[in-house]
A and B are shown apart, each in its own frame.
Chain A
Amino acid sequence: MIEFVNVKKVFEDSGVVALENANFKIENGEFVFLVGSSGAGKTTITKLLMRETNVTEGEIYLNGNDITKIPDKEIPYLRRKMGVVFQDFRLLEDRTVYENVEFAMRVVGATKREIRKRVPEVLSEVGLNYKAKMLPRQLSGGEQQRVALARALVNRPLILIADEPTGNLNPKTAMEIMDIFEEINRMGTTIIMATHAKDIVDTMKKRVIEVSDGNIVRDEMGGVYHETV
């Protein structure tokens, strides 16, 4: 379970208040959309979760542990509990699909045997096992996002964080990707997705947390995209 308790984030260099008095809980296995205009504070929430930045005030609990207090050297181990997918895919261009996914396992010290078993398995889950030897530039945008998804999933994370994962995709491909996300969620992985994709949010009818000027202005089960403020 994830819990934000009175979280405030002020960026020291600019003095901008990115998040103010944020309080919410996300249960294990939930699918949550973070919506709001650009600069509202959605990405700040994902960055705080990954400890890419730390809170100014408040606590963030992950399964009962306050992650704002963990020492820097423990951050990599926190991140191993999470998978992350970005709008721009962030694949290694000089490595094949297989190597991109394999790399994520190698980084965390998986054995060759584990890698040989798990990588084809996860590529199959995202429907890309037949393109394992291709380079990212030989793939369509949707396929590249699937590779990024496979990489995020390969270490069986508890939480999958996605920042505008369909931002660079056409509506049809975006829906295909969302089907995969839904399938992953059905398997028990918690999904937190920051998005501007109104159609997707409205269609999927999941929990919606709306952020506006750093404040949580709406937290609605089975919500839609509309902006409150």
Chain B
Amino acid sequence: MPPAIETTDLVKEYGDLRALQELSLTVEEGEFFGLLGPNGAGKTTFINTLVGLVRKTAGEAAVFGYDVETEYQQARDAIGLAPQEFNVDRFFPIREVLIHKAGYHGIPEAEAADRADEVLKRVGIYDKRNERFDWLSGGMKRRLLLARALVTDPDLLILDEPTAGVDVQLRHDLWELVTELNEEGTTVLLTTHYIEEAERLCDRVGIMNEGRKVTVATPEELKTRGTDTISVRLETPLSSSATADLETGLGAYARELSSNGNRLEVRVDDGGSTAPQLLSDLETAGYEIADLEISRTSLEEIFVDLTRSEDRTVTRSSASSGEDGSATSSTRGEDERERGRSRDEADRNTEREREGVA
């Protein structure tokens, strides 16, 4: 069976800007794959290349073995997309929007109507089935995007930041639903800014930055790539000369060492396996240990490290202070969403103004 997604040296250029740079990525059938990266990393460009909204400049891209350009009909038939933007037909009640979408995928009208009802119930907005999209709340709009992606019963479900700007309850509902779908056999590709989301849901995570693949690994593997901090409280305070001596003595495994009074902090690759050695070395050096604590690197910190570049100002402390993800990325994301909302509103106003044009 071919992979759900397979790209080889995929390139997308917008004039001088290279949005995707020789991106090679494989997502296996049945996998729950997370795509992480800061704004502008190329995640949405990558997705849009798969569904036909962006034409690649070079390279290969296939969905379940079907080339996305030469065999576009088969490729697109396999995909259900819930995009970031609210790109929903405004002329019809949402139930009809879903019936139309299912129809485009070759599902006869009666069956399409049944499916529309089913997915509306599944995402919890069946009561709103006769409303038009513009009159739904933000959370309901997100639910509808998911329903539209599901109404064609896709083998590959692509979710482009599905929980951006939604409340905690809805986020958990969506997580539960997509987990269920994945367990039923649907391959899921999820892009998100929320590290917790990727860590909680994904079998594997791909990290992108500036159009390139930085790494692909399981969340657990990624965590092992970071450094841990072993914090030791000693019975007696450390002098600066003693700290310098320790730095030399522990140099074999300590990446960084600092002290403050009787508190010693040592940064190591793997806190769990290094702690006994550190204790032994400290005791040998004549120190009595009162307490020890290991802080493990979060996936979020690793993500920030991996995607840090010269022109970024993201720091660990600022990233850690963010509620939902890397602070800088989240802030940028909010800005973009805000701009999106403003544009959406402007569009709607224009649409009303232009009703006479139709």
Whether chain B is bound by chain A comes out as no
Q: Chain A residues in contact with chain B, CB under 8 A? A: none
Q: Chain B residues in contact with chain A, CB under 8 A? A: none
